């Protein structure tokens, strides 16, 4: 479990004015679950994930981990190295590794037979799978993924949604996502946190009580639609116009 306590972030604009990006953000990420933060554009989602993974420092507050394992951050841009093969990418940064485990990870993310291939000129989905396998190889406390589906086509998105649900369920991996897309948030998540804007803070949490193993047909169920309405209603209350009410 990861506890985020009263995180705040300030930055200075070009005139030297101190601006608060988000304030007093507190929430919990449960083990082996998928947690998603839905927030408007410009509310500091990327900064929040970078703080959780240690790439940025918070102005105030703390992130409490119960183990020494790292929190891996995956950017919205492809982060697999194009000069390394799929296998070399997965091994990148590992001090010791088990060959059988690496091969298993290649299979888990659906890249069997592509171990010696290079990711340059490959699709976003292919490169995302490599980054996912590399993250899993580090046995992380949590994988934080920043709006990963923005540039993916419909087919790839659907495949990756199912893959992430499968990995979370079978490998007991903890994920934290940020998104502006309600449908993908509800489909993927076990827990959702809603964030407002200027300065952003978490104003609502919703437990998603859907089957652990899901397929895309769940989107058309009444229960799923109820969750969509519930989230929309919360955002309408705070007048967040930039949330995208998309379907997959």
Partner 1 sequence: MPKELNHKIMMKSKVTFVLVLLFTYIILFEFILPFNKVLPKPSLLYESFLYIWKDYDLLSALAITSTVIYLAIILAYLVVYVSAGIIIKFALEYPDAIEKLKVFRYFPAFFIAILFSYWFGDSLIAEFVFAFLTSFALILFHLISEIKNHNPVYADTASNLGLNKYSICSKVIFKDIQPNHFNGLIRIHYYLWILVMIYEFINNIGGFGGVYKTALIYRDFVGLFSVALVISILILFGSIVINYIKEKLFFWE
* Residues at the site binding partner 1, with contacts judged by CB under 8 A: 50, 53-55, 70, 72-73, 75, 77-79, 81-83, 92-93, 118, 120, 131, 134, 138
CB of 92 to partner 1, least distance (A): 7
CB of 194 to partner 1, least distance (A): 26
23/50 with CB nearer partner 1: 50
79/230 with CB nearer partner 1: 79
Give whole-number Cα distances, 20 to 11, 26, 219, 224, in Å.
6, 16, 36, 35
Residue that has been written with the tokens 């959780």 in this structure:
52
Q: Are 142 and 29 in contact (CB under 8 A)?
A: yes
Beta strand spans in the chain (E): 2-12, 18-29, 34-38, 60-65, 71-74, 142-146, 175-179, 191-195, 202-207
CB of 74 to partner 1, least distance (A): 8
- 232: Cα separation from own chain's centroid: 21
Q: Which two tokens stand for residue 188?
A: 């993927």
Give whole-number Cα distances, 176 to 32, 139, 147, 160, 233, in Å.
10, 15, 10, 15, 23
95/207 with CB nearer partner 1: 95
CB of 204 to partner 1, least distance (A): 29
3-state secondary structure of 143: strand
CB of 128 to partner 1, least distance (A): 13
Q: Are 167 and 108 in contact (CB under 8 A)?
A: yes
The Cα–Cα gap between 71 and 79 comes to 16
21/72 with CB nearer partner 1: 72
CB of 57 to partner 1, least distance (A): 13
144/182 with CB nearer partner 1: 144
């Amino acid at each position: 479990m990861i506890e985020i306590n009263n995180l705040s972030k300030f930055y200075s604009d070009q005139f030297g004015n101190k601006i608060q990006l988000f304030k007093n953000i507190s929430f919990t990420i449960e083990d082996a679950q998928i947690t998603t933060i839905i927030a408007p554009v410009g509310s500091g989602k990327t900064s929040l994930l970078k703080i959780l993974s240690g790439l940025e420092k918070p102005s105030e507050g703390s992130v409490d981990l119960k183990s020494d394992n790292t929190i891996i951050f995956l950017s919205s841009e492809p982060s697999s190295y194009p000069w390394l093969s799929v296998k070399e990418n997965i091994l990148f940064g590992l001090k010791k590794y088990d060959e059988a485990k690496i091969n298993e990870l290649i299979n888990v993310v659906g890249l069997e037979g592509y171990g010696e291939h290079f990711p340059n000129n490959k699709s976003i989905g292919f490169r995302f799978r490599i980054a996912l396998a590399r993250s899993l190889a580090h046995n992380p406390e949590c994988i934080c993924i920043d709006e990963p589906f923005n540039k993916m086509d419909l087919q790839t998105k659907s495949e990756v949604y199912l893959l992430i649900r499968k990995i979370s369920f079978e490998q007991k991996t903890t994920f934290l996502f940020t998104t502006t897309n309600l449908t993908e948030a509800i489909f993927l998540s076990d827990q959702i946190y809603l964030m407002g804007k200027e300065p952003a803070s978490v104003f609502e949490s919703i437990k998603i009580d859907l089957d652990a193993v899901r397929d895309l047909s769940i989107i058309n169920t009444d229960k799923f639609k109820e969750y969509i309405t519930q989230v929309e209603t919360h955002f309408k209350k705070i007048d967040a116009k930039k949330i995208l009410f998309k379907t997959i």
